Amino acid sequence: MSSINCFRTAKAPLQTFASVSRFRYSPNRLVSVLRRKSSPSFVTLRAVSSMAYEKELDAAKKAASLAARLCQKVQKALLQSDVQSKSDKSPVTVADYGSQAVVSIVLERELTSEPFSLVAEEDSADLRKDGSEDLLERITKLVNDTLATEDLTKAIDSTLTTDDLLRAIDCGTSEGGPNGRHWVLDPIDGTKGGDQYAVALGLLEEGKVVLGVLACPNLPLTSIAGNKNKNSSSSEETGCLFYATIGSGTYMQPLDSKSEPVKVHVSSVENPEEASFFESFEGAHSLHDLSSSIANKLGVKAPPVRIDSQAKYGALSRGDGAIYLRFPHKGYREKIWDHVAGAIVVTEAGGIVTDAGGKPLDFSKGKYLDLDTGIIVANEKLMPLLLKAVRDSIAEQEKASSL
């Protein structure tokens, strides 16, 4: 295959794009919205910046969709032997490796003029160990079969060898940082406690998130509001693709079709008593007692919706819930790939994403986030009330601990 150009950065030229028809998401109807061309002299810097990412967005949507297709294949026949151990105890499956390889290869293929840096969850160290040959062969076959569905094996001149696969996975070992462009990938986010997961791919430029795509194979196309546990998919139609670029809003479309995207927006609820909130299904990612205290202070009446993976960011972006609370146990370090894509999907849909102290998430410091206690998400109206409830609840817990 052609060599993959890792760890260098490049900037794309600004592009123009024609007027396009879009639809605004509503549970009951789709409202056509026409985005009109603007005179260049009246376009804000933020809007001009968003125009630069049309090519990158197309590549990211293709990469995430193909990776999700591979994950769906693996999910149906995932064997216990496919799970490797890792020092941080998070699961690593053939889907992790295969998804990361697919994304790396597709980005390299679609953005051939732009060598790229990829910050991702996996590396090939375990696959290079003795005894991993059968697993490596299986992953290589899965990746080749997935790429063949889009004729990408022809585009890269030949089918991938195991060495090609290892190199593609290791393209994700960039450290990121505040300078240049860095793609950020969680190849399969959410594999504990249920079957909700997402392929989450974002793009940082000079430390700021400018693009995000979430492929959520098991997330229903209809709202999950009112369901206590949507970490398991039901018989209803599932599979959502969410995407956003800076200054352009957030859109959703079915993952496995070419249907027109719909523009989505976060919940407009202003009264916290009417709000519903999301929290992580997995206990390690959320202090449920603290979340319950915050909800009580706000007067929230609905029970929490527990759902893992960045699929929750997608669900929040279309208004399925109004609040998201994430308070990991002490000592847990948040990784940027767990939030980059989801954060822009929510913020471009009108939401606010901060740490527990109200500070925006800073993705410019490498692979890890430096946070004040946890992560909270809400709309503009609810955020001041939420921040006060968070501060008061944390202070109460700290006082109780000291006594």
Active-site positions read 96, 191
Q: Taking Cα atoms as reference points, which of 95, 96, 116, 94 lies closest to residue 106?
A: 116
- Rounded distance between C-alpha atoms, residue 52 and residue 79, angstroms: 42
Q: Taking Cα atoms as reference points, which of 210, 388, 169, 394 lies closest to residue 298?
A: 388
Q: State both tokens at 265.
A: 């927006």
List helix spans (H) across 111-193: 133-148, 152-155, 162-169
Which residues are CB-contacts of 128 (< 8 A; sequence separation ≥ 6)?
Answer: 166
Instruction: Specify whether the backbone of 312 is left (phi greater than 0), alpha (psi in -120 to 50) or beta.
Output: alpha
Which residues are CB-contacts of 212 (< 8 A; sequence separation ≥ 6)?
Answer: 200, 201, 202, 203, 242, 243, 244, 340, 341, 342, 343, 344, 345, 348
Contact 277, 300 (CB under 8 A): yes
Strands (E), 231-366: 238-245, 250-254, 262-264, 277-279, 305-306, 323-326, 351-355
Radius of gyration (C-alpha) of the chain in whole angstroms: 21
